[in-house]
Amino acid sequence: MKSDVFSLTALWIMAAKWEMEDRLSSESARQLFLRALRFHPECPKLYQEYFRMELMHAEKLRKEKEEFEKASMDMENPDYSEEILKGELARIIYKNSVSIIKGAEFHVSLLSIAQLFDFAKDLQKEIYDDLQHLHTDDPLTWDYVARRELEIESQTEEQPTTKQAKAVEVGRKEERCCAVYEEAVKTLPTEAMWKCYITFCLERFTKKTNSGFLRGKRLERTMTAFRKAHELKLLPEFQYEQLIKSLLSHNFLKEALEVAVAGTELFRDSGTMWQMKLQVLIDSKSPDIAMQFEESFVHLKPQVCLSLWISWAEWSEGAKSQEDTEAVFKKALLAVIGADSVTLKDKYLDWAYRNGGYKKARAVFKSLQESRPFSVDFFRKMIQFEKEQESCNMTNIREYYERALREFGSADSDLWMDYIKEELNHPLGRPENCGQIYWRAMKMLQGESAEAFVAKHAMHQTGHL
């Protein structure tokens, strides 16, 4: 229903725009907007575009008047009255619309439109003053007022010229913004208000600068604001994550660890927060990483621990002995069950081949071959590992295919086809087995999988596959 209303209002706006820009008829455009508002009296978009149209019309008249004055021509056009030229019609729309459409967001949208027109300074001030008066309890108002400080130029006559002076001036503007935010969080101590404050701090912190002074100030302000918000427990989890990522990207490991520790204290059951804390510890080369991994599993439900087990194994592979890493994989497989264990088995097998070669990989495969569930890749990996050996053993390849078909033979037509090709193409293969494999496949495969197998087999027989 909402999409239908949006489509209809878009048509009204397109029609009014055509009247205004192509037919040069502001009156027809105005009438279309008025009719549209009778049908959709609470549509913000209609009010926004009607407001914009009247400001554009006033700007056009001002330019016309200026041209007439330059040419010293008489003007008797009633549209050139002072009220219309100052945007009085737009002001009327503004007043009517904010009495119907409530909320700071709509109010700010009209102010943003008005700011596109230099002649509408008085109207801009009126809207801005009303915003502060009518929506003091809305975080968006405070956010807008604070950010506006960035646009206010210095009162000194001389603008800063050196890079250092410009950095100092930007720093002053940001200080003024933060002063407004500080007042805001005292007046409106809510999660939404603190979210606005921290978002602003993060935006400024991540903004590129060559000034060490400015970078240091931004870090200091961000951490000060964060500590206050954390103490009040008024920050959502995702902002802890944002802050940690930003600090890590700038290599502020000490501060990132402070935020990560605070985050895991507040969100003890969040796998993401623990993952980020452990990443910071790894980047910091902490001696307590293994202990912290163990601690995370105490607080987390098993179903959210898979990524942590994988991270532990990956870290251990680079930092610890093979025995230590294998111990991590074995612990993980005892703790992680069901579908999640499939990924662990694949990674364990990869690790074994990477670090101990085929012999180690086969030993791991043998230890897991009855520990369901598996992925088809678990078996395909072993087939590939076997084929990479100088003395490739066809008996082992058959074993891997047979075990894979036991698990996936009823649905995976490619597995059957690859088995047939292996018997045909391998130097130690037995082509005479292919007929038997074909009929076994026809018995096991079901529905579309069986049809796909027949088609692939026929194409292979004719040399097209």
Look up residue 97 and give its two tokens. Answer: 């619309």
Look up residue 403 and give its two tokens. Answer: 């075990």
Q: CB 129: neighbour CB atoms within 10 A?
A: 10
Can you state the angle between helices 447-461 and 434-444, rounded to 10 degrees? 160
As a dihedral over the C-alpha atoms of residue 226, residue 232, residue 234, residue 240, rounded to 10 degrees, the angle is 40
Quickly tell me which residue has 């455009």 as its tokens.
29
- Say if residues 416 and 453 touch (Cβ distance below 8 Å): yes
- Say if residues 447 and 461 touch (Cβ distance below 8 Å): no
pLDDT, residue 1, reads 43
Q: What is the 3-state secondary structure (H, E, C) of the chain?
A: CHHHHHHHHHHHHHHHHHHHHCCCCHHHHHHHHHHHHHHCCCCHHHHHHHHHHHHHHHHHHHHHHHHHHHCCCCCCCHHHCHHHHCCHHHHHHHHHHHHHCCCHHHHHHHHHHHCCCHHHHHHHHHHHHHHHHHCCCCHHHHHHHHHHCCCCCCCCCCCCCCHHHHHHHHHHHHHHHHHHHHHHHHHCCCHHHHHHHHHHHHHHHHCCCCCHHHHHHHHHHHHHHHHHHHHHCCCCHHHHHHHHHHHHHCCCHHHHHHHHHHHHHHCCCCHHHHHHHHHHHHHCCCCCHHHHHHHHHHHCCHHHCHHHHHHHHHHHHHHCCHHHHHHHHHHHHHHCCCCHHHHHHHHHHHHHHHHHHHHHHHHHHHHHCCCCCCCHHHHHHHHHHHHCCCCCCHHHHHHHHHHHHHHHCCCCHHHHHHHHHHHHHCCCCCHHHHHHHHHHHHHHCCHHHHHHHHHHHHHHHCCCC
State the Cα–Cα distance between residues 196 and 259, nearest whole angstrom. Answer: 18
Measured CA to CA in angstroms, residue 45 lies from 8, 41, 58, 105, 271 at distances of 11, 11, 20, 12, 41
pLDDT, residue 413, reads 95
- Say if residues 123 and 94 touch (Cβ distance below 8 Å): yes
Domain ranges of the chain: 1-135
- pTM of the predicted protein model: 0.81
pLDDT, residue 464, reads 67
Q: CB 269: neighbour CB atoms within 10 A?
A: 11
As a dihedral over the C-alpha atoms of residue 342, residue 346, residue 349, residue 355, rounded to 10 degrees, the angle is -130
Amino acid at 406: R
State the Cα–Cα distance between residues 140 and 354, nearest whole angstrom. Answer: 54
Whether the CA torsion 18, 23, 24, 28 is positive or negative: it is negative
CA angle centred on 91, ends 90 and 94, rounded to 5°: 90
Residue 61 Cα to chain centre, angstroms: 45
C-alpha atoms less than 13 angstroms from C-alpha of 174 in its C-beta half-sphere: 24
Look up residue 284 and give its two tokens. Answer: 């910091």
- Say if residues 438 and 420 touch (Cβ distance below 8 Å): yes
State the Cα–Cα distance between residues 304 and 269, nearest whole angstrom. Answer: 9
pLDDT, residue 2, reads 46
C-alpha atoms less than 13 angstroms from C-alpha of 145 in its C-beta half-sphere: 24
* pLDDT tens column, 288-340: 999 999 999 999 999 899 999 999 999 999 999 999 999 999 999 999 999 99
Collect all residues with Cβ–Cβ distance below 8 Å to 269 and sequence separation of at least 6. 299, 300, 301
Among 88, 104, 89, 87, which residue's Cα sits nearest to residue 44? 104
State the Cα–Cα distance between residues 416 and 307, nearest whole angstrom. Answer: 33
State the Cα–Cα distance between residues 299 and 263, nearest whole angstrom. Answer: 13
pLDDT, residue 152, reads 84
- Digit-by-digit pLDDT tens for the chain (465 residues) are 444 445 688 888 899 989 888 888 888 999 999 999 999 999 999 999 999 999 999 999 898 888 877 776 655 555 568 888 889 999 999 999 999 999 999 999 999 999 999 999 999 999 999 999 999 999 999 999 999 999 887 665 556 668 888 899 999 999 999 999 999 999 999 999 999 999 999 999 999 999 999 999 999 999 999 999 999 999 999 999 999 999 999 999 999 999 999 999 999 999 999 999 999 999 999 999 999 999 999 999 998 999 999 999 999 999 999 999 999 999 999 999 999 999 999 999 999 999 999 999 999 999 999 999 999 999 999 999 999 999 999 999 999 999 999 999 999 999 999 999 999 998 889 999 999 999 999 999 988 999 999 999 999 888 765
State the Cα–Cα distance between residues 58 and 359, nearest whole angstrom. Answer: 83
